[in-house]
Amino acid sequence: MSEKGKRTRQPNEASTIYLGSDGYWHGRVTVGVKDDGKPDRRHRMRKKRTDLVKAVRELERKRDEGNVPKVGQRVRVTDWLVHWLENIAEPNVSENTYSGYRVDVYTHLIPGLGAHWLDKLQPEHLERFYAKMQRNGSSAGTAHHAHRTIRVALNEAVRRRKITQNPALLAKAPRLTDEEVEPYDVDEIRRIMEEAGKRRNSARWAFALALGLRQGEVLGLKWSDINLAARSLRIRRSRLRPKYKHGCGGTCGRNPGYCPQKQQKNKATKDTKSAAGRRPIGLPAQLVELLRAHAATQERERKAAGGHWEEGGWVFTDEFGRPLNPNTDYREWKALLKAAGVRDARLHDARHTAATVLLLLDVTDRAAMAVMGWSSASMLKRYQHVIAPVREDIANRVDGFIWKPSEVAPEGDEAPAGEGPDRGN
């Protein structure tokens, strides 16, 4: 009897191989169960029997390893990224993390990689994409952030068996260089603080320059977090950037943030969850005095605002008691630097300044990490190239001040009268 069209009866769920009437060898492999409870049988077809046997064995191997993609319509990278972002990431990550993911997905990943079939995406596609991003002006840090985002998204695709392997794990990520630490010197700090004393919320900048608090940590402070008598505070939350939605139903024609009836759609703060971030900090005596003066000023503003004051217990507010907007705070920092006549810098450089001062004062590594909210000692290494030259300069200054060259007599010469070792001092 001819083998053509003949199938050998196999036990349930066993693989079958047969020669079809079309002249091709066919194989069927059970890899699991469909959503309706029926066996999930996959089909393979080859011209030669030996080639089909190899294909069937490979599918069986993937089945046994749990690496067979689920049945379903093939999707583009765009389709998966949008689904992952809106339905998987948004409900399960913090708002700041989601915002970063969203920028990566819609600004970089979809325009650059979205047309690929999800199951055909290769590490080389990702590597060429990262290089193109940087050629077009994106920093290595931005490209690296996009790499981390697609890696997370594709990990989820593997977990749900949309693909069998994550190409982002094989791709070479953009190389990052350590962020340059450029702290302000003492004279610059004094000029900034002197100028800050002429403005509202002047104590806010002391928190940045003296204690190194992050922007969100400072703006999220409430008076209940501070004990002036004990000269201490505790970090408990971080201020979030406000996100708005239309209050007019979209009829104003503007972006939600500029809608005359805009409504904030996210919370004002998020709780600090990490042990390193949720930390107590001691307050210098001068900062305590600044806070006392700030509290008195805020009380006068509360009385002046009357019924328009929105009491929330915030340490730093606008004229009506509302917490400061991070964007407004950033613009105030830039204006402060310009008015003080110091070089322009990021707000984060104030934090670098505080960390540098702590290390110059020989505060122990563990104590410095506690104040700064660092969870890893690797952060300390970034400051060594700044600390070492400053310490060397201090040593040279002391050396030149105490042992002046003109006072050291050449060997064999007599010391000048009145300056020898027996001058009676």
Q: In what order do the strands lie in the sheet with 39-46?
A: 16-19, 25-33, 39-46
Residue range 221-244, pLDDT digits in tens: 999 999 999 988 888 898 888 878
The active-site residue, picked from 84, 101, 130, 383, is 383
Q: Is 348 a catalytic residue?
A: yes
What distance in Å separates the CA atoms of residue 299 and residue 286, rounded to the nearest whole number? 20
Write the pLDDT tens digit of every residue in 272-331.
Answer: 766 656 678 888 888 889 999 999 999 999 999 999 999 999 999 999 999 999 999 999
pLDDT of residue 400: 62
Question: So what's the pLDDT on residue 324?
Answer: 93
Is 391 among the catalytic positions?
no
Tokens of 345: 């810098």
Residue 132 is predicted with a pLDDT of 96
- The 10s digit of each residue's pLDDT in 51-77 is 999 999 998 988 888 777 666 557 899
- 142 pLDDT exceeds 50? yes
The two beta strands, 280-282 and 232-234, are antiparallel
* Active-site residue, from 245, 278, 302, 382: 245
Mean pLDDT of 256-277: 78
Q: Which residues make Cβ contacts (< 8 Å) with residue 324, sequence separation at least 6?
A: 201, 204, 219, 239, 314, 316, 317, 318
Does residue 96 register a pLDDT over 80?
A: no
Question: Which of 106, 223, 244, 374 is the catalytic position?
Answer: 374
Expressed in angstroms, the distance from the first to the final Cα of the chain is 123
pLDDT reading at 122 higher than 80: yes
Of the pLDDT bands very low, low, confident and very high (cuts 50, 70, 90), residue 3 is very low
Q: Which of 348, 381, 391, 397 is catalytic?
A: 348
pLDDT > 70? residue 262? yes
User: Catalytic pick from 44, 108, 351, 352?
Assistant: 351
Between CA 143 and CA 130 the distance in angstroms is: 6
Per-residue pLDDT at 424: 40
Return mean pLDDT, the chain. Answer: 82
Percent of the residues in the chain that have a pLDDT greater than 70, as a whole number: 77
Q: What angle do CA 246, 323, 332 make, to 5 degrees?
A: 95
Catalytic residue flag (residue 294): no
Q: Tell me if residue 214 is catalytic.
A: yes
CB 324 within 8 A of CB 351: no
Mean pLDDT calculated for residue range 30-36? 79
Find the catalytic residue in 44, 214, 237, 352.
214
Active site residue 125: no
pLDDT at 349: 79
Q: 81, exposed or middle or buried, with CB in 10 Å at 0-12, 13-18, 19+?
A: buried
Reply yes or no on whether 383 is catalytic.
yes
**Predicted local distance difference test score (pLDDT) of residue 110:** 96
Taking the C-alpha atoms of residue 120 and residue 263, their distance in angstroms, rounded to an integer, is: 43
**0.85 surpassed by pTM:** no
108 and 138 Cβ atoms separated by less than 8 Å: yes
pLDDT of residue 421: 40
Taking 70 as the threshold, does the pLDDT of residue 351 lie above it?
yes
Is 418 exposed, middle or buried, given 0-12, 13-18 or 19+ CB atoms closer than 10 A?
Answer: exposed
Of 49-63, 156-170, 296-310, 370-384, the one with minimum mean pLDDT is 370-384
Residue 173: per-residue pLDDT = 92
Tell me the DSSP string of 360-384: HTT--HHHHHHHHT-S-THHHHTTH
